[in-house]
Chains A and B, each alone.
Chain A
Amino acid sequence: MSQVEIPQRKLNDPIRSPKHVNFKPIREFYNNDYSNNYIHTNSYPQKHVTNIENTVEGYPKLQKLFQEKTKQNANYATKPYGCKVNIDEMVPTLNKWIQHDNITFDVVMIGCLTDNQFIYPLLTQLPLDKLISKPGFLFIWASVHKINELTRLLNNEIWAKKFRRSEELIFVPIDKNSPFYPGLDGDESAILEKMQWHCWMCITGTVRRSTDGHLIHCNVDTDLSIETDETQNGAVPSHLYKIAENFSTATRRLHIIPARTGFETPVRLRPGWVVMSPDVMMNNFTPKKYKNEISNIGYNVPLKNEIEVLRPKSPVSKT
C-alpha cells in the first residue's frame, strides 16, 4: 500500500483558524433520500450508484474473473455475423436454417431496446424448441409493458414446460438524454415515469448449477445493468450480450431483432453472435461458413483453470 502524504501547509502561511468547524463525527449512519433529491434537483437516483463504471470495484478477485472471462470468450468467438432479413422473412429464414442447414443455437436473444417490436408473432410462429438446443438459454428484451403482455403467452402450460423462466433482468438508462431512454411510448396508463427495460431469461432442458460448470457459470453477473459512459448508441447496449456470454459457455449465439430500428439506431455486429435484423450493418452470414467456423471453435468455450478458481460456485455438500 502506498502511503499518501498529508498536504503540508507552508511555514509562512498565516494560521487562519476555521470559524469553529466541528470535525467530531456524527454517530448515526446517514442515508440520502435520492427519490426526494430527484424531485428537488432533477438528478436521477440511478446516477448516485457509485459502481456504475466498474461494477466490481473493490473486489480484485471479481475484476480478475471478468478479465479472464472476457479474454476466454474472445478467444473462442466466431467472427461477427450479420443476417439482413425483413421481419416477415425471419421465420422462413430460420425455418430453413433449422430444416435444411441443420443449425441450432444454444443462446438465443430476442428483441432490443425499442418499442414496436414484433416479438409476439415471432414467438408464436417460430419453432423455438427446434432452434434452441437443449440445454439452451433464451433472453427476451423489451419494454416493461411488452414483457408484461408476453407473460400471458409465456405462462401457458406448453410454453412454461419447455422454457422455464429463470431470471428477470433489467437495463437502466442513466438519464433522459440517453439513447436508451424509453420515452413516453405506450405510457398512457403508467403512473410513474419509465426508466427501465426488462428481460425475460428462460432455460430449456436441464442444467444444474452445481455440476454443469462446463455449460454455465452462475452468479458472475447480476440481474441489473446501468448504462455507462462507454455505452454506445445502438439497438442493444453491449451489457446485454456480456451477461449471456458470461453465463453460458456456448459459442453458438443468435440475436433476433424483430423490429425496424431506423437510421439513428445502428444494429452493430458482435464477435460470437449472429445478429438477424432488417437493419443490421452487414449481411455476411451463410450457413455453410458458420457451421465450418463452429466446428473449428467447438460448441463450448473450454474450461480454464484461472476462471474455475475465481468464479462463484455452489458450496459442495459434504457426503
Chain B
Amino acid sequence: MLTFDTTVLKFLLDYNVQLVKLPLLGQLKDVFLIYSMEQNQNQDGLSYHEFLSIIKEINKLTDGAISLREPVLIQYHLEGESIDHIDTFALEILYNRIHVKEDITKPKLVEPMKRKKSILTDRLLNLLDGDIATTTTDNNNRLLFQAPLQKGLYQRLENLLKEDPISFQLNKERAIHCTTKAEYIPTCHDKDHSMLLSQLVYIVNNKIVSMQWSKLNKLNHNNPFGQCIQTHIHYVPNLKPQTDLSLGDCSYLDTCHKLNSCRYLHYLQYIPESLNETNSQQCEEYNHYEINHNMFYTHGLNCSYINKPILPPQWIRCDVRKFDFTILGKFSVVVADPAWNIHMNLPYGTCNDIELLELPLDDLQSEGILFLWVTGRAIELGKESLNKWGYEVINEVSWIKTNQLGRTIVTGRTGHWLNHSKEHLLVGMKGNPTWLNKHIDIDLIVSTTRETSRKPDELYGIIERLVGPHARKLEIFGRDHNIRPGWFTVGNQLRGSCIHEMDVKQRYEQWMGQQ
C-alpha cells in the first residue's frame, strides 16, 4: 500500500515543532515550500498537489496523526489549509515500520537530534544554501573558498571582520623582531613560599641583607621551593615586633613612612643575585642574537632605519607658558603631562587650566599624535583642549596603577566618590598620518606607581613602536627623569639645556638673545 515517498514523512518528523510554530503556523503552502527547499536535489520534486495527497495518505495510515485546520478568514485574507498539530509518536511508528522493511541496520532518527543541536545561524544558512552544504561537509574547506554559498560567504565575511588587517599583522611581527626585550621575571603567588622565606632571611634596617645559607643549601635542587626561589620574584613578609598579622597588609606597603612603628604588614622584594644575573644574561643574549635591526620592511620608519643613530637626549629648561614653541620645529609625537589644577566644586577649571588651554600647541604638529595625561575633571577639559588644538580623540589609554605587590590600589580615599585605581591618557590625532604603526600595543599600561605624578616609562616604549625610534618626539612639562635618547624634553623643572639639532639650537639662541 505504500505508494508515497517517505521523505515527506521524514521531513514532518524532523521539523514537526518548527512547522506548527511562528512564523509558519502550519500553513501547508509554506510547509511545502520549506519541504521542496530541503529536497531540492531531487529534480523531479513533488508538486503541491502531490504533497497534499501524501499528507492525506499519511493521515489515513496513522489515523489522523496530522491534524489539519480548515481554511480560515483572517483580516479579509483567506488563509489556506494548515497543520494544527503533528503527532510525532504515530509518525515515528509509521516511519520505523517502513524503514525496518527497507533497512534494519539504519540508525533511527539520528539526523533530527543533530539538527537540534546545531547553531541557529548554521541551520538558517543551510536552509538558504539548500542541501549542497549539508551533503558535502567533508569538503567544507574547499567549499568555503569556492562555492558561492551563503554559508561560505558568511563565514568568510566573519573571518574577514575578525582578522586584523595585514598592515597590523606586519607591524606586530616587526615589533617582535625589532623591540629590544626587557628583562622579565615572573612573580611567585604561593603564600607558603613567602612565609618560608620570612624565616630564612636576615632583615636589617628594613632590607634583606642575607639568607641563612645553610638552610637554603640544604634544600634539594629539585625541590619546588628551591626552584621557585631561583626563577621567581618573592615578596617576603617583613615581620617586626609590632606587626599585627590580623590587621592585614599596610596600604602604603614599601612607601610607608612609619616602617618602624606601623602595625600593618609590610613586604620586602626578594630576588637572588644569581637569578638577576642569569636573567639579564639571557636577555642580553636574546637581544644580541634574536633581535634583528636590519629589517627591510621599513614602512612607517625612517628609511635609513638600519644605520641612522638615535639622537642623544635633548632638553630645554623654560617656562612652558612663555616659551616660543616655533623654535622646536615639528614633531611626530607630543606628550604632555600638565599639572591640572581643578577645584572640585567648579564646573570649569581654574586660572591655570585656562593658561594650559591657551598654550599654542597647534604649532607643534602639522599632523601627528598628542598624548595628554588627564585626571578627574580634567578629562573633559583635556578633550576640549585637544579639539581646540585641532586634534580628534582617537584612543584613551588607561594606566592601571599597581603597588609593590602588583595589586591594584583599592584602599585609602584616592577618589572623591570611588577610589581611583587608574589614570587616563588621552590620545589625539591631527591630520591623517599614514606613517603610524598602528595596533602594536593595547590601550592599557599596567605599572607600579613611583614618585607623585611620575608617569610610567612603558609609554615611551609604546610610542617608540608607534612612530619608530627616529621620529621627532617631544615631552612638555618634563622633569629630569623624563629625558631620554630620541626625545626632546621641555619644562621648568629641568636642569639647564642641551640641544643637538643645529637648526633648533640656532633658533633657540636667537630667541634667547631677544629676551
A293 — which chain B residues lie within 8 A by C-beta? none
B192 within 8 A of A: yes
A209 engages B380 (CB within 8 Å): no
B1 within 8 A of A: no
A9 engages B466 (CB within 8 Å): no
B409 engages A222 (CB within 8 Å): yes
Q: Give Cα A56–Cα B405 distance, bound, in whole angstroms.
A: 13
Closest to A8 in B: B218
- Residues of A in contact with B, size category: 35 or more
Q: Give Cα A222–Cα B410 distance, bound, in whole angstroms.
A: 6
B217 within 8 A of A: yes
A46 — which chain B residues lie within 8 A by C-beta? 400, 444, 446
What sequence of 0s and 1s flags, for each residue 163-201 of chain A, a beta carbon within 8 Å of any chain B beta carbon? 001111110100000000001100001111111101001
A224 engages B400 (CB within 8 Å): yes
What sequence of 0s and 1s flags, for each residue 210-249 of chain A, a beta carbon within 8 Å of any chain B beta carbon? 0000001011111110100000000000000001000100
Q: Chain A: interface secondary structure? A: loop
Given contacts A26-B273, A35-B458, A39-B440, contact A49 B406 (CB under 8 A): yes
B407 — which chain A residues lie within 8 A by C-beta? 49-51, 55, 57-58
A61 engages B175 (CB within 8 Å): no
B74 — which chain A residues lie within 8 A by C-beta? none
B417 within 8 A of A: yes
Which of A16, A32, A201 has the largest count of B CB atoms less than 10 A from its CB?
A32
A33 within 8 A of B: yes
Q: Give Cα A18–Cα B216 distance, bound, in whole angstroms.
A: 10
A292 within 8 A of B: no
B419 within 8 A of A: yes
Binding site for A on B (CB under 8 A): 120, 161-162, 164, 175-176, 179, 181-185, 187, 189, 192, 195-196, 199-201, 207-211, 213, 215-221, 223, 225-226, 229-230, 233, 245-249, 251, 254, 265, 269-274, 276-277, 347, 369, 377, 379-380, 383-384, 392-398, 400, 402, 404-422, 424, 427, 429, 436, 438-448, 457-458, 461-462, 465-466
Binding site for B on A (CB under 8 A): 1, 4, 6-9, 13, 16-18, 20-27, 29-41, 44-46, 48-51, 55-62, 144, 148, 151, 155, 160, 165-170, 172, 183-184, 189-196, 198, 201, 203, 209, 216, 218-224, 226, 243, 247, 263, 312, 314
A-B contact pairs, 25 of them (CB 8 A): A13-B220, A22-B274, A23-B216, A25-B273, A29-B254, A35-B446, A36-B179, A38-B441, A50-B187, A55-B407, A55-B410, A56-B410, A58-B249, A59-B248, A60-B247, A60-B248, A144-B396, A166-B416, A167-B417, A172-B398, A172-B444, A192-B397, A193-B443, A222-B421, A224-B398
